[in-house]
Amino acid sequence: MKLAMIGLESSGKTTVFNALTGAEKEVGAFGKIEAHLSVVKVPDERLEWLSDLYNPRKTVYASIEFVDIPGSINDSSDPKITASCREVDALVFVIRAFEDPNVPHPLNSVDPLRDLEQIQTGLVLADMAIAEKRLEKLEKSISKGAASKEDKDEFAAIRKVMDRLEEEEPASRAGLTEQEEKSIRSFQFLTLKPFLVLLNVSDNELNSPATEKTLSSLPEAMAISASMEAEIRRLDEEDRKAFLEDLGVKELSLNAFIRKAYGTLGLISFFTVGEDEVRAWTVKEGTPAVKAAGKIHSDLERGFIRAETFSFEDLREKGSEREVKNAGLFRLEGKGYIVKDGDILSIKFNV
Ligand SMILES: Nc1nc2c(ncn2[C@@H]2O[C@H](COP(=O)(O)OP(=O)(O)OP(=O)(O)O)[C@@H](O)[C@H]2O)c(=O)[nH]1
Ligand SMILES: [Mg+2]
């Protein structure tokens, strides 16, 4: 999964990126246009348990790729910047709530709701530019009688998107059918992407009533004190623990953020196990077994025969695969089986 951190200038995107990934990119580098990339593994105690049981040569965690996008997403954002947001699965809006006279706010005041609107307007405008161009082109070929059925379907779908954008609403409100969504997938409309909000607060405001109030007025939001967390990351293990305890915080934000992201984006994990490798995979809720197989390798999707399946919880309870089988909890599932969180799959295939 790939996520882009976006927001207004100096909202703390790079600081959040450092806090979540442990990177040490320069912050306050106003005007720099370089995006940063970092991959973090998704902590998962179930995977650790499986690794203890199977003792494989390799244990592979699921991972999340973060992209730190510099500068502002607003009504005058650089098309190069918005273009670099298109290839991701979801957007993370980093919104400033911290007060600091040394860090000028581009709009001269701290106002999270207004900033959220600014970002959303920026995304709507970026999508409009793409939609407009495409509509023009399709219109021409339709009026010349040179349009295929696909072209006409695509035109209708983009028109639906454009209708929402013109009302300053996201394309996600267009009520596109699966077919329509497919026909315009290649445009990667930003306002069709799911998003999360990270409210960047001062350390003394982490759990304050004011922060709670702001959070409740923002969609899919959680608070982070990014500069404090980036500092804590630099401490060694022991100091870090002590520091967190002092603050009355159990852990760094990464775990909570990942849980939030999985929940909001409707993601689940399944596992593959064996002597060679124990591995966690991420798919969307509702994914059929044949598609989950394709995640592992395209051959497994193409030549899918069946998925031998049991659940992590049954394995933990019974202690071994043999006992799971003895208890009749081992299943043979077909292509259309909907994979559940915690399933352990072994795909049988033939190509
Ligand atoms: N006081 C305070 N300062 C912060 C906090 N988070 C970030 N900053 C400061 O705000 C400034 C901008 O932070 P960055 O992380 O570079 O912000 P950015 O959004 O990446 O900025 P651009 O990429 O230039 O748009 C830096 O000087 C940070 O140290 C915070 O929680 N509290
Ligand atoms: Mg930055």
Q: What secondary structure does DSSP assign to 123-136, as a single string?
A: HHHHHHHHHHHHHH
> Do 169 and 125 contact (CB within 8 A), yes or no?
no
Atom nearest to 30 CA in ligand 1: 24
What pLDDT score was predicted for residue 178?
92
Q: For residue 106, what pLDDT is reported?
A: 94
User: Which domains, from first to last, does the chain contain?
Assistant: 2-43+62-109+194-264 (3.40.50.300), 120-192 (1.10.150.300), 286-349 (3.10.20.30)
DSSP state string for 46-115: HHHHHHHHH--SEEE--EEEEEE--S--STT--HHHHHTTTTSSEEEEEEE----TTS--TTSS--HHHH
What is the Å distance from ligand 2's center to 313 Cα?
42
The pTM score is 0.92
Q: Which of 84, 100, 231 should be mutated for ligand 1, with most atoms under 8 A from CB?
A: 100
Strands 90-96 and 195-200, sheet pairing: parallel
- Other CB atoms within 10 Å distance of the CB of residue 25: 17
Mean pLDDT of 290-312: 97
The protein residue with its alpha carbon nearest to ligand 1, atom 26, reads 28
Tell me the CA–centroid distance for residue 13 and ligand 1, in Å.
Answer: 7
pLDDT at 249: 79
Q: Does residue 80 surpass a pLDDT of 90?
A: no
- Please determine, for residue 246, whether its predicted confidence score (pLDDT) is greater than 90: no
Q: Indicate if the pLDDT at residue 245 is higher than 80.
A: yes
Q: Are 110 and 96 in contact (CB under 8 A)?
A: yes
Q: Does the CB atom of residue 18 touch ligand 1 within 6 A? A: no
- pLDDT at residue 208, rounded to an integer: 93
Which pLDDT band holds residue 122 (cuts at 50, 70, 90)?
Answer: very high
State whether the beta carbon of 253 lies less than 6 angstroms from ligand 1: no
- 14 pocket-lining for ligand 1 (C-beta < 6 Å): yes
Q: Cα separation of 4 and 2, whole Å?
A: 7
Cα–ligand 2 centroid distance for 9 (angstroms): 8
Average pLDDT over residues 318-339: 97
Cβ pair 345, 292 in contact under 8 A = yes
The answer to whether the CB of 9 is under 6 A from ligand 1 is: yes
Q: Establish whether residue 99 lines the binding site of ligand 1, counting it when its CB lies within 6 angstroms of any ligand atom.
A: no
> DSSP 3-state assignment of 44?
coil
Ligand nearest to the CA of 26: 1
Using the atom order of ligand 1, give the atom closest to the CA of residue 7.
Answer: 19
pLDDT surpassing 80 at residue 233: yes
Is any atom of ligand 1 closer than 6 Å to the C-beta of 347? no
At 338, the pLDDT band (50, 70, 90 cuts) reads: very high
Say how many Å lie between the CA of residue 104 and the centre of ligand 2: 14
CA-nearest residue for atom 23, ligand 1, is 70
CA of 348 to the centre of ligand 2 (A): 46
Q: What is the mean pLDDT of residues 107-112?
A: 96
Residue that has been written with the tokens 């002597």 in this structure: 275
- Is the C-beta atom of 10 inside 6 A of ligand 1? yes
Closest CA to 168 of 219, 129, 124, 115: 124
Amino acid in the structure at residue 187:
F
